[in-house]
Structure 1
């Protein structure tokens, strides 16, 4: 049986506040998930808490990214925990927070000295640079930063960028299909599958192609990034950028099952679920049950 550890990473530094004076509620996700009995239901006995710096709306003058210095510092701290777990053969289940936590996770992998792939499951591309961002939030730039694009303060922490090479990344699930928005990722070396492409080509074919890519390139493993806004808005409306359509839980299961079963799977992070938008806990309880069932297998 695989040895899993929960790492709680409640950083909301990568988001712009949706309401003046109210910080993004994704920082409450680890606590809310804990209350559902997720760890017990998954059979995980160890939890590591990585407290996040205080929220701020400050924009770093040089990079034009909100909270860039604090995110870089937090990424180093998170990376040390991910690196330690992976080197010990333990699989981290990192509960965010916003999408900027993938920087720390990817940095931790890079610090092991290996080469890794990334399967990014997200309702957006998150492949954006500061000059194209309307929020200055790193949570909308994380995939670009992870692959070495954008300001060095986040894309090249400790001279380790890119943390994961573009050709080893699958971006899966975007449904914001504006031509200008998707142009940067289409022009990159990232393997890009928007929601229509997934349904046309088939989930099984895409996950098989990813695992084949990992094997053919002799990678040391891969990480899964999952932003819950990839899910259909009917089953996951408590996100900062809701959109119509999205993956069903059955489609998510079909996606994750072969990836989680692979011996090359090294860890996963879950981001963007905002419990303040789910006051009765209806959606997070359902999500917790789905995720724990998948991780137990």
Structure 2
């Protein structure tokens, strides 16, 4: 029997630094945008929950070295509370961002539920300390923060550091490989790292299966999937904050996600960074939605 699905809408954008031509990053519109093009209807959620975000600002904090840390921490706590209040072990939990900093709230909730793994599917590693971030945007440091790298105020909320152990994380799909200092951070961690080239070499399905094997060997209570749509090729998903030319296609995405989503240990999936302001006609959004609905609704597998 197929699991029920709960949607959690987190229209948060304070982890991003706005571009010069923007009033604020448009990623906060993503949940409503997906609904407009039939995503919610296509997966028929049993429940929908939503946490509105505070007003957008770009306050740089010298102590933490990032922008908007206190708004991000407060939102993450509220996000965690909403998830913990409404989660069900027999439900698939679908988190709709927002920017990548919503991972912090999801991670806080999961840490309180047990020992969870993280499959981090992203066109960037997002594993850097604040000193290496030119923007100070937490959306570019979220993987670092949830695994304990960064200022204590962000990495140790409520004394829960680390939210995910590095050895329980797969970081998959990074296409920003030219900067040795940037890549060096994750290479020096205990995270299982597959950049785009090595992902292709290892195989899309096999990489997912390797992660599931790790989760089994570590006897984890479950795992969570983070999907930043900038992991997709620019030709099919250019409507993102930080574009990369190379990436995976929709068939690759199916190969990676199918084994994970049908696994009974999968707590849920988080979707971030698609910006409706860059896709006013939904040209790029609609194929993404169609693909995701097919993946999530795969019959008789997730039990």
- What interval of TM-score do these two structures reach, taking the shorter chain for normalisation? over 0.9
Shift of 1:41: 0.7
In 2, the alpha carbon distance for the partners of 1:206 and 1:279 equals 34
In 2, the alpha carbon distance for the partners of 1:229 and 1:289 equals 17
Q: TM (normalized to structure 2)? A: 0.95
Counterparts of 1:49-198 in structure 2, within 5 Å, are 49-112=50-113, 114-178=114-178, 179-198=180-199
In 2, the alpha carbon distance for the partners of 1:73 and 1:169 equals 25
- Contact 1:85–1:92 (CA under 8 A) maintained in structure 2: no
Q: TM (normalized to structure 1)? A: 0.97
Q: Quick check: 137-146 or 80-89, which moved more?
A: 80-89
**Partner deviation per Cα, 1:142-169 (whole Å, 9 max, x = no partner):** 0000001111111111111100000000
Shift of 1:281: 0.8
In 1, the alpha carbon distance for the partners of 2:122 and 2:48 equals 25
Shift of 1:46: 1.7
Paired residue for 2:301? none
In 1, the alpha carbon distance for the partners of 2:90 and 2:161 equals 24
In 2, the alpha carbon distance for the partners of 1:130 and 1:140 equals 9
In 1, the alpha carbon distance for the partners of 2:85 and 2:107 equals 13
In 2, the alpha carbon distance for the partners of 1:16 and 1:43 equals 34
Aligned length: 296
In 2, the alpha carbon distance for the partners of 1:164 and 1:128 equals 16
Paired residue for 1:18? 19
- Contact 1:121–1:172 (CA under 8 A) maintained in structure 2: yes
The Cα RMSD (Å) is: 1.1
Shift of 1:104: 0.3
In 2, the alpha carbon distance for the partners of 1:283 and 1:290 equals 11
- Contact 2:7–2:95 (CA under 8 A) maintained in structure 1: yes
Shift of 1:88: 4.6
- Contact 1:86–1:266 (CA under 8 A) maintained in structure 2: no
